[in-house]
Structure formats: C-alpha cells, structure tokens
Chain A
Amino acid sequence: MTNVIKLSAADLSGLLVERSISSVEVTQAHLDQIAAVDTGVHAFLHVAGEAALAAAARVDARRAAGEVLGPLAGVPIAIKDVLATIDMPSTAGSKILEGWIPPYDATVVRRVRDAGLILLGKTNMDEFAMGSSTEFSAYGPTHNPWDYDRIPGGSGGGSAAAVSSFEAPLALGSDTGGSIRQPAAVTGSVGVKPTYGGVSRYGSIALASSLDQVGPVTRTVLDAALLHDVIGGHDPLDSTSLTDTWPSMAAAARAGLADGALTGVRVGVIKELSGDGFQAGVAQRFTETLTLLSAAGAEIVEISAPSFEYAIAAYYLILPAEASSNLARFDSVRFGIRVNPEDGPLTSERVMAATRDAGFGPEVKRRIILGTYALSAGYYDAYYGSAQKVRTLIQRDFDAAFSKVDVLVSPSAPTTAFKFGEKMADPMAMYLNDVTTIPANLAGVPGMSLPMGLAPEDGLPVGLQIMAPAKMDARLYSFGAAVEALLEASWGHTLLSRAPELARREMFAGTATSTAFTSTEGAV
C-alpha cells in the first residue's frame, strides 16, 4: 500500500480497526519515509524503529485477539523532544541534556502509549522551545518540507515538519507563545494549543510554566481532535490541570462537517492582528477566507483588542523570568552534562557556571539573563509585575471580544516561512514573529492553526488562527473542521497535496522495508 503515509490518522484508524492493514505495516511505512527523507528534513533527533515495530506488533496481536482498542491504537506518532520519555533521550534540543534518558514518562506520553499509539521517535525543536525557526536547536535546524532553505517554524518545527513530510500522521508539540501554531502555519499542517490546564504539563520540560501547553500537531482538524481526546483531561500531577469534564473533541470536529455548521457563527476579526505588518499574500488569503466564511453564513465582526499591542512586551518579560528559574535545575548535579572550567580550581560553583556556559546556546543565555534581570531586586515591579498586569488587560480584551463573537480569527503568523539566517542576528525581529500567537498563551485561551492557502508571491503555506474562549476547545474543532472543509472544497484538494515531492535518498530507494528501520535506529 504505497499511499499509507498519505492517509490521515482517522483513515488509518478505520483500516486498522477493520484489520485491512496492520500497525506493523503502517509503522514500517512511516519508518521507511523517515529513512528516505529525514536526512533532508531533519525532523527527528531520535528514531526508535525497533521499539516502534515491537509496539505495533503488540497492538496487532491484541486486535487479532479480539480486543477492542481505542481509535488511534496502532497509529504512529512523533513526540517533541521537550517531553520526557522513559525509553528515548529527551534533550529539549539542548546540548546540556545530550543523551539524557529520563527515568519516567511525561503524562501525555504515558497516555498515548496507553491508547496504543506507536512512538516513532523524538522531534527537533529550538533549544528549550526558545525560538520560531528550530535554528536554535543544538542539533541543527529542521528544514521546511516545502522549501529546504526555509525554516519549519519553531519551536516545534520538528513535529510540524514530521507530519507535513508524511513521516508521521500525528505528533505532539508544546506551545508557549506559538510553538505549535506557527510551525503548523508555515508547513501547511494543523496545530492546536489547548486551553491552559486542558492537557497535563507533567513531564514536559518547562519553558514558562504559566504559558506552556502541550497539544496535537497533525494534518487534519479531525486528527488533532482525536489526539486531543487521548492526551487531554485532568492530571493530579499537574496542579494547574483543570478538573473539568471535557466533551469529545472528535465528536465536535465531526459536528463541524454538518451542513450549515457555519451559519450564524459570529467570527471576530481582531483589528490589531490584521492589516499592516502582514505579508501581502498572508493578508490576501486571510481576506479571501473571511469572504468564504461570510458566504457560508458566518457573521464577520471587527473586534478591537487594544492591549494586544503590549502582548509581546509582556510575553518577553514573563517568559524569560519563569524560564530563568525553570532552567536553574540544569546544574550538572543530578542529570545532564558536566563541563569543567578550562582553568582554575574545580569548585561546584565554577563547574555549574562552566556547564551552563557550554551547555546552553545563545538564545537560552539571552533569555535567562533577561529573565534574571526582570526578577532582580529593584526591577520586579517595573518589569515582571507590570507584565502580569498586562496579562490581566489582555484577558479582559478577550472577555470583551468573546461577549460579542463565538470565535476570533487572525493569520497564524505575519509571514510565510522565512529563510534560514534571516532573523538570527536580530532577536527582536524574531520575537515580533510571535505577535499573533502570544495573546492566547497570555490569556490561557485555546488556539488552532490550519492551512488557508498558499501565498501567491512565494507559493508557501499560510495559516489561519482560530481562538475560542477558555475551555471551549470543542468550539475550535467544530469551527476549524468546518473551515477546513470549506477551504478544501474551494480548492478541490488538500493543501499538503500541493507540497513538493521530497527527494528520496538513493540509498533507501527500493530497500526492503524490513531492514530500513535498523539504519535509522538512534539519532539521525
């Protein structure tokens, strides 16, 4: 079955349940694709081929024995390297954690394992999720499957590239200021940042605790919903985890496909997140999408969110402050690398400082220093304290907006995928890239990005961001699925079907599938 890797998780699920395909076959097909294209894409930091096939065989055996398993049992998934996995290195893209294998699984990892999903490996990311391009990964950048010279977004560029290059139908990401949604936008895939507290953070290597949220990275809205249903829900190990009973996101996504799902839906367009500063093709596709929505019966309402102007500033105080404290534990005592100073006495203090100098990359150091500054005596009120007040104002803007509309929309990112190196020299330019996605993290509301076309000027994917009120993740899926169907109907195809066919490396072409995985075992 040559097109197995092009199938959605939902479709694979159907075939697996009716046993017209085995999980081993599906898994092997994806391992083959990884072997074939990941040298170019570099989405993975670690591929666990043997373990994946063994897990797939177990799922097949259970199904053969008549066991009724969850819908995604047997479907492969890629795991962002920010998540602790007991059987695979978990580096968060940092040299300081090179080779570290945690003695435990993150709650979301445990849940995907329990649901019978097949873990293919760990995906690349900006170091400790700090970045919008994967250029800050200590292990080299991931390449955008649409154009290898361009960034796949970040920090979760590895997960987004893995699904958009058909190396995996599903992936897990984490989103602190857009790390799921922006990579989805620039790779033509779907990504969801759930409501803060909707998905457990236990075992997710913390960047900024009050902003981080784990979520699905997929190629379709329904697939994201199916994965959300697996990873979501209360976890007593995360004290900020919500105890709410959640509706089925998959059911919500399917409801969005009903006729007239968009009729009467009030769609808010945030004035501050449209117009100036957006690439022409991005703005154009956004306007066209609004027109389509309107034609489908939705009511388009312009919304002002005046405090959003301060979101980036607040974010780049809160995030570094929390990160500076969260990253203090990387001290060469209990885990991770230890680096001795080049000269002078070997004291704990000097070894810690030398390890942190050698183990952290430039962006991590920049943010730790910034965060240390923002929290230090005499500056707290002006910086961290003020940023937390801005957070209140942004929440109020969202509250006001959602009293008028059902969902808010904006482009997911101001531009399409930029070229490597374009923004490396200017930290602020890189930070401004997050303008659209940051408000949702500050307020804790859920957000989704899905493809809304290719920018005419460069032929690269453009993402639509949808936001819903806190805890209304199901609304994102209903509305998102409806918009996805509307757009695909207008195009006559899926967006990713227009992605370039990736060069398959000669050495793997035609290789027997049963041996391909062995050469990808370990770091690639």
Chain B
Amino acid sequence: MSEITAEQVAHLANLARIDLSSEEIARLTTELGQIVDSVAKVAEVATPDVPATSHPMPLTNVFRADTVVPSLTVEQALSGAPDRDGDKFRVPAILDEE
C-alpha cells in the first residue's frame, strides 16, 4: 500500500500549479493511493539489465537547417491572449523570482 498523504497531494498540486480545494485534495489522496498501488507493479520486471525506452522509434540526429522561416504576425501571436498591453502579453504581478 502506498502512503500518499494529503500533504503530498497538496505539494504536487502546488508543483502542478492547480489550486485544488481541500475536498479535491482529499479525494485525490485516496484515488492516487489506489492508482499508485496498481501501477507500482512496473518495478517487478524493471530489472537493471533492461534498458529504458523513451521513444518508440529509435531515431537519432533529426535536425533542421538554420534557415529563417516566417513567424506569426504579432496579431496572430497575440490573438488568443487573455490580456495584452500593446504587443506584449500582460500578466498579473509575479511573486516568485526567476
């Protein structure tokens, strides 16, 4: 049985930037516990001798020539912006520093 706690879920929600309600956290704590218990079985067969596969097709060295292609127009780029100021996207004050 995995030991997923509500604190852990709250931390994950913070990492994932989702403002979950306490009810959602409680429900997800239970569900996540069940799911994690069920998926943890992957460790049974994932022995050190087995290489990991990140891509289904084994390609390497897929490159693009360093040639400029037309960008979107500024209006296209900003067409979906929830808020803008001139040609820039506008966001509320930022609390965290870079």
Contacts and interface: CB of A to CB of B under 8 A. Distances in A.
Interface of A: 100-104, 195-197, 210-211, 236, 239-240, 242, 307, 310, 312-314, 316-317, 324, 328, 331-338, 341, 345-354, 356-357, 360, 362, 365-366, 368-370, 372-373, 376, 382-383, 385-393, 395, 427-428, 431, 441-444, 470
Given A312-B39, A348-B93, 15 more contacts: A102-B80, A307-B45, A333-B81, A347-B95, A348-B94, A353-B18, A356-B17, A357-B21, A366-B31, A368-B18, A372-B12, A389-B46, A389-B50, A428-B34, A444-B57
B29 to A, nearest CB: 10
Contact of B92 (A210, A236, A351, A368): A351
Contact of B32 (A100, A356, A369): A369
B93 to A, nearest CB: 5
A332 B81 CA distance: 8
7 contacts: A101-B79, A103-B77, A366-B28, A366-B35, A369-B12, A373-B12, A392-B51
A316 B35 contact: yes
**Most B C-beta atoms less than 10 A away, residue of A349, A427, A470:** A349
Nearest to B82: A338
A369 B28 contact: yes
A313 B18 contact: no
B72 interface: yes
Interface of B: 4, 8-9, 12-21, 24, 28, 31-32, 34-36, 38-47, 50-57, 59, 62, 64, 72, 76-77, 79-83, 89, 91-96
Given A388-B54, A444-B57, A427 B28 contact: no
B82 A386 contact: no
B52 to A, nearest CB: 4
A241 to B, nearest CB: 8
Contacts of B50: 389, 392-393
Contacts of A100: 80
A109 to B, nearest CB: 16
Contacts of A382: 40, 43
Contact of A347 (B82, B89, B93): B93
Nearest to A373: B12
Contacts of A333: 81-82, 89, 91
Contacts of B20: 357, 365
- The DSSP consensus for interface residues of chain A is helix
**Most A C-beta atoms less than 10 A away, residue of B18, B43, B44:** B18
B41 A313 contact: yes
A438 B42 CA distance: 15
B82 A242 contact: no
Contacts of A395: 53, 56
A383 B76 contact: no
Contact of B18 (A104, A357, A427): A357
A317 B39 contact: yes
7 nearest CB pairs, A to B:
A444-B56, A335-B80, A386-B46, A388-B52, A103-B76, A338-B82, A353-B19
A427 B35 CA distance: 8
**Most B C-beta atoms less than 10 A away, residue of A338, A341, A366, A390:** A390
B31 A356 contact: no
Nearest to A365: B18
A484 to B, nearest CB: 27
A99 to B, nearest CB: 9
B53 to A, nearest CB: 4
B54 A210 contact: yes
B83 A338 contact: yes
B96 A349 contact: yes
A197 B55 CA distance: 10
A116 to B, nearest CB: 25
Given A337-B82, A349-B96, A389-B50, A427 B31 contact: yes
Contacts of B51: 389, 392
Contacts of B8: 373
Nearest to B43: A386
Given A242-B57, A310-B42, A389-B52, A356 B93 contact: no
A347 B31 contact: no
B41 to A, nearest CB: 5
Nearest to B90: A333
A352 B17 contact: yes
Given A346-B93, A372-B15, A383 B39 contact: yes
A353 to B, nearest CB: 4
Contacts of A337: 82
B15 A376 contact: yes
A206 B91 CA distance: 25
A330 to B, nearest CB: 10
A316 B93 contact: no
B46 A390 contact: yes
A269 to B, nearest CB: 23
A153 B69 CA distance: 40
A470 B55 CA distance: 13
B59 A240 contact: yes
B83 A356 contact: no
Contacts of B14: 353
A324 B16 CA distance: 7
B42 A383 contact: yes
**Most A C-beta atoms less than 10 A away, residue of B17, B24, B35, B93:** B17
A370 B32 contact: yes
